[in-house]
Amino acid sequence: MIELGLLGLAAAGYAGSLYWNSYLRAIGLAVDDCSANRQDLAMNRLKMAILLPPIGRLVDHWALCLNFQSYLYIKQKQPDWAEKRLQLIERRPGICEAVRSLCFYRRAEINDLLGFPKEALACRQQALERFEAAQGELDSKALWKPLALVLYGTGDYAGAAEALERLLKQEWSAPILYLRWLSLENAGASRERRLAACREALKFETLPERRIYLLASAAE
């Protein structure tokens, strides 16, 4: 997998508080780490981030950090620790329901790990229904960017691509366009859709390494 270098995306457009930047920065760097097979470093970044007490709307960013950490515990085959992170999210008031719905995706993965496929399927269905019912909150709370990063980091590339499409209706930047293309590549989207995203990203990408990847994809 291509190493992402997503810090530009994580920091772009945010001149807010230290807390705001710290949560989003931790998520972006953790995605980078996972892409480079540095899961232990990703875990440590997220552990440090959640030590910051969430203030106001930042509770959603805090919850996304916990959800990402739960995913990493599942990958380490530690379902008990993964579940504890989900319980922290569920006990905390004020979290966007669309963000809460991601807990059911993690529980589906826990059930897969424990050998309960029917329960896993039920959790995935519940996650989808809850997310679709509540995703309007993501617009009002400007959560598409951190959500896209977490979806990418947890292997939901199709979900990340859709989240980035929504984000591009609110703001755009070269890193966002690049990540949308990369999400579509990893999701196995149609050649037509991947090529369109690649060409659009190429118009604005200035980093040589990323341009090499984009040009190679466009030439295939």
Give the CA distances from residue 198 to residues 84, 135, 158, 211, 218, in Å, rounded to whole numbers and listed in that order. 40, 27, 16, 10, 7
The C-alpha atoms of residue 184 and residue 180 are separated, in whole angstroms, by: 6
Q: Quote the number of domains for the chain.
A: 2
| One domain for residues 108 and 25 | yes
Answer for the pair 6, 32: CB distance below 8 angstroms, yes or no: yes
| One domain for residues 149 and 208 | no
The CATH number assigned to the domain holding 32 equals 1.25.40
How many of the other CB atoms lie within 10 Å of CB of 4? 24
Answer whether residue 40 shows pLDDT above 90. yes
* Residue span of the structural domain in which 202 resides: 157-220
Indicate the residue among 124, 155, 186 that finishes a domain: 155
| One domain for residues 134 and 186 | no
| One domain for residues 151 and 192 | no
The C-alpha atoms of residue 211 and residue 198 are separated, in whole angstroms, by: 10
Indicate the residue among 133, 155, 177 that finishes a domain: 155
Stated pTM of the model = 0.91
| One domain for residues 133 and 215 | no
Indicate the residue among 109, 126, 155 that finishes a domain: 155
Give the pLDDT of residue 56.
85
- Residue 63 carries which side chain, given as an amino acid letter? A
Q: For the residues 69-79, what does the mean pLDDT come to?
A: 98
| One domain for residues 161 and 149 | no
Q: For the residues 189-205, what does the mean pLDDT come to?
A: 95
| One domain for residues 181 and 210 | yes
| One domain for residues 107 and 198 | no
More confident residue, 19 or 164: 164
| One domain for residues 138 and 172 | no
In angstroms and rounded to an integer, the radius of gyration of the C-alpha atoms of the chain is: 17
| One domain for residues 139 and 168 | no
pLDDT tens digits for range 137-158: 898 888 999 999 999 999 999 9
How many of the other CB atoms lie within 10 Å of CB of 31? 27
| One domain for residues 144 and 162 | no
The C-alpha atoms of residue 127 and residue 145 are separated, in whole angstroms, by: 19
pLDDT tens digits for range 158-171: 999 999 999 999 98
| One domain for residues 108 and 21 | yes
